[in-house]
Structure 1
């Protein structure tokens, strides 16, 4: 008796960019599968993804889709619960497509997918370089056991220090540097940094380190309850994180294109 093989590969790779906007790089142009994957993401974390703004990136395909297929995908994503707001910049064909379907082009999200040192893009297409929704790996102890006592400079600039609590609806962004929060990050709040993020209180909102693609950035917190954490676009939501890590001091880092989360001793 033949055993049916299950294909676990995903058609779309979702990353979280600056200001919480998600970038969906299409790896397989299967409208039904892409819509189903997005629907499942919304169902798993409705507070984060329901009616969320999404940038659609066709840069992982060998050929830019035609307008009819692109419109079908945009409609399907809307029905799945998110709001496509733009296309990621790519080839001249991609620019023409954006005009045809009436969406703007955004360029800055695209760079987060390219490997360090730059890669050659031929015909507007580049190979995907990251896995979608990397697996949490808490088995290996992190190399650093505690957050540094002072902010670490990133890009030659002093770190940004936030002394007051970051409350719901607030957003703090450390441009080209690390961010240190001396208090708490409340539910519904968002902290972003191009470098690492150090939180000396509870993290209940969102923390996005390496916002411009720095894969060496890390997140440290004294009490982990995060709605979402991301390093260089690789993200995890609270629903995906083992319960034994919740409420504990934690470190989040990226290694071999997998997001790792471990308790700090």
Structure 2
């Protein structure tokens, strides 16, 4: 059985499922996906996301504000804290640093990131980290904020082996691999996957984006996480069953509040 450790179920186009949200979940279950973690990216969207997945025992949720969103909208810390403390929220994020677009937004991104780290430690819930073109600052802020206390994951990882090793060795973090690893031009990322211990890896779809081979060109969905697992298995020279077993164990080890 597989776990999709990072998906955005509320962003999937229901037109592809005849308007039936349950069909997305049924497809995942048929593909041996036993649990999905649906990720919050804005406070504006959180109530609707929470309502959409309510009642599904195989879906958990996180609460956080994406760095690209907070770059343009002030962070409502009081609201974030209130919703992040909800018992059904198992993690804090998606948060982090994204320096790809706007250098002037770095200070507000850093302020938001620091608060998310503080909140994760206060609530004892792990962090879900987005990082792009911000390797040094991401690791530095996680270490300064003592994020090793709450733990977390660098999601949809595309950065260097050195960064992954720092996150594992200094912060006891996990590294999550998405469908990007299956892309033809992702040889460097596959080298990173090969070098990292399976015991520190998670797998994800990041649905509805980044559909893995052989689904390129389609909208992504949690059912495709098995294809991510197959890519990891091929790269590491292990069985698909081993990747499924170990990454699923890793998921529940990190997200301890997930009900099984």
TM-score (norm 2): 0.32
* Higher relative helix content: 2
Please report the TM-score for the alignment, with normalisation by the length of structure 1. Answer: 0.31
* Greater per-residue strand proportion: 1
Structure number with larger C-alpha Rg: 1
